Structure 1
Amino acid sequence: MANHKSALKRIRSNEAKRLRNRYQHKTTRNAVKRFRELTDKKEAETLFPTVVSMLDKLAKKNVIHANKAANLKSSLAKHVATL
């Protein structure tokens, strides 16, 4: 058990951050999945910046690695190009 007031606060804030990161990560994964299922090029082009923005935010907060975000963005851009 924590012995300091600051340690208790750290436990609370870490849990809040963990839940927020988990929610954002799952939401982004679902968005990527939905994006990959798109067959309409016009719709994909409008959704692409939103998904890329979500990935960039996760990478900036170190929820996912920057290279993983780059790889995902690259593959999604290829998906748009092939439509």
Structure 2
Amino acid sequence: MANHKSALKRIRRNEAARLRNKYQHKTTRNAIKKLRLEEDKKAAEEMLPSVVSMIDKLAKRNIIHANKAANLKSGLTKRVASL
């Protein structure tokens, strides 16, 4: 168990951040899957900016690596363009 008040607070904050990161990451992964399964070009083009924004936010907060974010955005953009 933690010996300091600050360590107890850090444990609480880490858990809150972990749950928030997990929620945001899962939501983004679901949006990516939905975009990849989309067959209608117009609908996919409308979804793409919001999904790219979600990916950028994950990269900014170091939930995913910047290069992974770039690869995801590139692949999704190619997928939408090929529809």
Match of 1:63 in 2: 63
Please say if 1:4 is aligned against 2:19: no
Q: What is the TM-score normalised by the length of structure 2?
A: 0.99
Please say if 1:73 is aligned against 2:73: yes
For residues 81 and 23 of structure 1, the distance between their equivalents in structure 2, rounded to whole angstroms, comes to: 29
Q: What is the TM-score normalised by the length of structure 1?
A: 0.99
Report the residue type matching 2:24 in the other structure: Q
Identity of aligned residues (%): 75
* Deviant stretches of 4+, over 2 Å: none
Q: Deviations over 1:29-83 (max 9, x none)?
A: 0000000000100000100000000000000000000000000000000001100
For residues 80 and 12 of structure 1, the distance between their equivalents in structure 2, rounded to whole angstroms, comes to: 41
Q: Deviations over 1:2-51 (max 9, x none)?
A: 00000000000000000000000000000000000001000001000000
For residues 81 and 57 of structure 2, the distance between their equivalents in structure 1, rounded to whole angstroms, comes to: 24
Structure 2: gaps spanning 5 or more residues = none
Structure 1: gaps spanning 5 or more residues = none
The alignment covers a number of residue pairs equal to 83
For residues 28 and 47 of structure 2, the distance between their equivalents in structure 1, rounded to whole angstroms, comes to: 12
For residues 37 and 80 of structure 1, the distance between their equivalents in structure 2, rounded to whole angstroms, comes to: 10
